Structure 1
Amino acid sequence: MKSIIITGASSGIGHATAKVFLDAGWRVGLIARRADRLEALADQYDTAVPLPADVSDANGMQAAFEAFGHIDVLFNNAGLFGPSATIDEITLEDWAQVMQVNIGGMFIAARLAFMKMRAQDPQGGRIINNGSLSAHVPRPNSVCYTTTKHAVTGLTKTLSLDGRSFNIACGQIDIGNAETDLLRQLKASQPGTETMDVGNAARSVLHMAEMPTEANVQFMTVMATRMPYIGRG
C-alpha cells in the first residue's frame, strides 16, 4: 500500500486531497493542529492516521514522521495567507508568523521527508510542494504570502536537484482559486471571483503522486479557467 503524509490536512486543499488519496486506497498521515478534525476524518477510513502537530514545531513534526513509518510521498501543503495589507501596514509579528509557517514549516516537513526517503529501503520517494499562482504573480496586498510562495519555488528546485542521487523527486503544484472556505469568503466580498471545485486540485496532486518513479511532474498549474492569471497585471 502506498503511503503519503499531508500537512494542513484538517481543512481546505489538504482535507480534500486527503480524502481523494484515501478513496484511492493510500495510507494517509494527516498532519494539522486541529486533532478533532483529523480524528473525524480518520473515523471514516481505516487507512487514515491522525498525526496532530504544528508544522512549525520541529520536535512535534519529527514525532509525527517517526510514528507514521515508511513514506512514499509528502504533500507539503500547510500554509496561511496572513494579513491583506500594504507592507507599511504589516507588523513584524505578522510577517514572522507567515514566514514561520509557510517557509519554516515547509522546510521542516521537507527535511524530515527527505531524511526518511534517503534512509529507507527501497531508497527514494516524492515531495510535492503546494506553491500558488502567487509564486509567479501576486494578488494586491499579499506581500507576506507572495514572498513565501516565491521561496517555495526555490525550495522545490533545490530539492529536485539534491534529491536526484537518492531517487527523491520533487514537484510543485500551483493552484488558483480552488473553492475552499477561505475562497468562499473572498467570493462573498468579491462576487465576480472565479473559482473551481477543490477536487480538481486534489485529483491533480494524486496524478503527480502516482507518476512512475522514473517520471516527475516538475511544475503544474491548475486553476479556475476564467480567473485572471495570463494577462494579470
Structure 2
Amino acid sequence: MTTATSPRADQSLSARRILVTGASAGIGAATARALTARGARVALLARRADRITALAAELPGAVAVPADLTDDDGATAAVHTAADRLGGLDAVVNAAGVFHGGPVVGDEPTTPDQWRQMFALNVVALLVVTRAAAGYLEAGTAPAVVNVSSMSGRRVPNPAGAVYAASKHAVHAVSEGLRAELAPRGVRVATLSPGFVRTGIVDGWEPGPLRDRYTERLASVGLEPGVVADAIVHVLTSPAQVVEYALTSVDQ
C-alpha cells in the first residue's frame, strides 16, 4: 500500500549515499546489491566483517563498516564512519533483525536472553542508527529512512512468534513517531512490512518440530530477499509524498 497526496517525479538513486544495516546477508545484502545496481553508493553495516568486506569488493562505490549494532556506542560510531567515508548520507535502510522462534511458556520456549536480543537489534539498534544518521540526512538529497518491519508487526500469527511480533509492533510504533518527528526536517520515514522471507532465519535454531514447521512455511510462501529489496528501491525512488509502503506474501 502506498499513500501520496500529489504526483511528483520519481527520485533517482544515482550517486545517492545510502547506509544499509544487516547487510551481511538476507534482505540487507540483497538491498545493497539492488541499490548499487541503480547507481547508489552504499555503506554496509553488519557484525560479520568478512561478509560485508567481500560484498563491498563486488559493489561499485560500496564501503564496509563492521559493527555490532547492539553496542550503542559502536553503532553510533559506525554511522559516523559510514557518513565520513561516503561524504554524507541521503538515506538509511534499517534491515538488521533477528528472530528467535518459540513460545514463552510452552514446549521449546524462548529465553529471556533471546527476548532481549530481539528488542536490542530489532528496535533499539534501529533507533540508535536513525538518531546518529539524522543530522546527515537533513543535509542530504531526498532524505529518507526505510525501516524493515514485518507483517508480524500488525498481528501475532502464532504463539511461537509472539515476542518477535512484539518487537515488530514496536518498530511500527517508533516509525510512526519518527515520521512525525522528522517530517518537519524534510526527512521521510517509510515502513516496509514483508511476510515470510527466505533469509535463513531458522539456520541457528535447534533441530526440532518448530524449525521444521518454519522451514516448510518459508519454502511454501516465502519471498526471495530480492523481491523485498526491489520494494525498498521502489520506496526510495517514489515521490516524497509517499509515506508508507507495505509488501505481503500470500499467507493462508
Distance 1:78-1:87 versus aligned 2 partners, 3 A rule: farther
Query: Secondary structure at the residue paired with 1:50?
Result: strand
Correspondent of 1:80 among 98, 110, 114:
98
Find the aligned partners of 2:192 and 2:221 in 1 and give their Cα distance: 19
Match of 2:68 among 19, 42, 54: 54
Conserved 8 A contact 1:87-1:143: no
Cα shift readout 1:90-148 (whole Å, capped 9, x = no counterpart): 33222112111111111111111223323x3x587111101100011123111221111
**How many Å apart are 1:62 and its aligned residue?**
2.1
Select which of 164, 170, 173 maps to 1:154.
173
Where does the alignment leave 5 or more consecutive residues of structure 1 unmatched?
A: 229-233
Query: Aligned equivalents of 1:117 and 1:22: distance in 2?
Result: 19
- Identity over the aligned pairs, expressed in percent? 26
In 2 relative to 1, CA 166–188 (structure 1 residues): closer, same or farther, beyond 3 Å?
Answer: closer
Q: SS of the residue aligned with 2:245?
A: strand
Matches within 5 A, 1:167-186: 167-182=186-201
Q: Is the 8 A contact 2:23 2:52 kept in 1?
A: yes
- Cα distance between partner residues in 1 of 2:180 and 2:105: 33
How many angstroms does 1:42 deviate by? 1.1
> Please, which moves more after superposition, 84-93 or 61-70?
84-93
Aligned counterparts, 1:191-230, within 5 A: 193-212=220-239, 214-216=240-242, 218-224=243-249, 226-228=250-252
Q: Higher relative contact order at CA 8 Å, sep ≥6: structure 1 or structure 2? A: 2
More strand by proportion, 1 or 2? 1
What residue in structure 1 maps to residue 124 of structure 2? 104
Assess, with a 3 A threshold, how the Cα gap between structure 1 residues 192 and 208 changes in structure 2: closer, same or farther.
closer
Deviates more, 1:147-156 or 1:190-199: 190-199
Alignment RMSD (CA, Å): 2.1
Report the CA distance shift for 1:194/1:28 in structure 2 as closer, same or farther (over 3 A): same
The alignment's TM-score, normalised by the length of structure 2, stands at 0.81
Q: TM-score, with normalisation over the residues of structure 1?
A: 0.87
Moved more, 163-172 or 54-63: 54-63
Question: 1:131-168 CA distances to partner (integer Å, 9 max, x unpaired)?
Answer: 10001112311122111100101111111111121101
Query: 1:79 corresponds to which letter in structure 2?
Result: G
Q: Describe the shift of the 1:183–1:99 C-alpha distance in structure 2 as closer, same or farther (beyond 3 A).
A: closer
Q: Matched residues in 2 for 1:205 and 1:112: separation?
A: 21
Query: Partner of 2:220: helix, strand, or coil?
Result: coil
Matched length: 223
What CA distance in whole angstroms lies between the structure 2 residues aligned with 1:123 and 1:160? Answer: 17
2: CA distance between counterparts of 1:4 and 1:75? 7
Counterpart-to-counterpart distance in 2, 1:106 and 1:221: 18
1:92 aligned to 101, 112, 136, which one? 112
